[in-house]
């Protein structure tokens, strides 16, 4: 991949996704930094996984697994424990699945009511 293409992808992700793109909080592949950080990568993968999981997760469980990401972010923000990229990815995955499953289940509930 050309470096110009990668730079455009990084700029697009910054404008559209709103990710901080900090190198120390991002994965690298073949010498290129991912266009979004480890936590945002987990959230994006979680969104995709939720398509297959949404009907099997209750509202309470959605809130619970989403809270895992918030808890990890809070612990890191307060400098209690520094998070790692793998932990950021896993907690982002939980947050992505929880948020998207909550949204999908809400839409299904509204459609069924109507």
- pTM summary value: 0.80
State how far the Cα of 114 lies from the Cα of 99, in Å rounded to an integer. 23
- Per-residue pLDDT band at 6 (split at 50, 70, 90): low
Residues 49-65: what's their mean pLDDT?
Answer: 82
Task: Kindly state the DSSP code that residue 29 receives in the 8-state scheme.
Answer: E
| pLDDT above 70 (res 77) | yes
Q: State which residues form the domain around 37.
A: 3-113
Q: Which residues pair with 33 in a beta bridge?
A: 28
State how far the Cα of 92 lies from the Cα of 96, in Å rounded to an integer. 6
pLDDT of residue 36: 85
pLDDT of residue 110: 92
Task: Kindly state the DSSP code that residue 67 receives in the 8-state scheme.
Answer: H
Count up the domains in the chain and report the number.
Answer: 1
pLDDT of residue 24: 85
Cα Rg, the chain, nearest whole Å:
16
């Amino acid at each position: 991949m050309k470096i110009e293409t990668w730079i455009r992808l990084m700029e697009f992700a910054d404008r559209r996704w709103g990710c901080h793109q900090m190198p120390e909080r991002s994965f690298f592949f073949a010498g290129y930094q991912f266009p979004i950080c480890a936590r945002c990568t987990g959230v994006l993968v979680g969104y995709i996984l939720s398509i297959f999981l949404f009907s099997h997760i209750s509202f309470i469980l959605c809130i619970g697994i989403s809270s895992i990401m918030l808890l990890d972010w809070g612990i890191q923000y307060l400098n209690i424990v520094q998070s790692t990229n793998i932990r950021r990815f896993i907690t982002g995955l939980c947050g992505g699945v929880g948020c998207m499953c909550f949204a999908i289940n809400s839409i299904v509930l509204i459609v069924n009511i109507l």
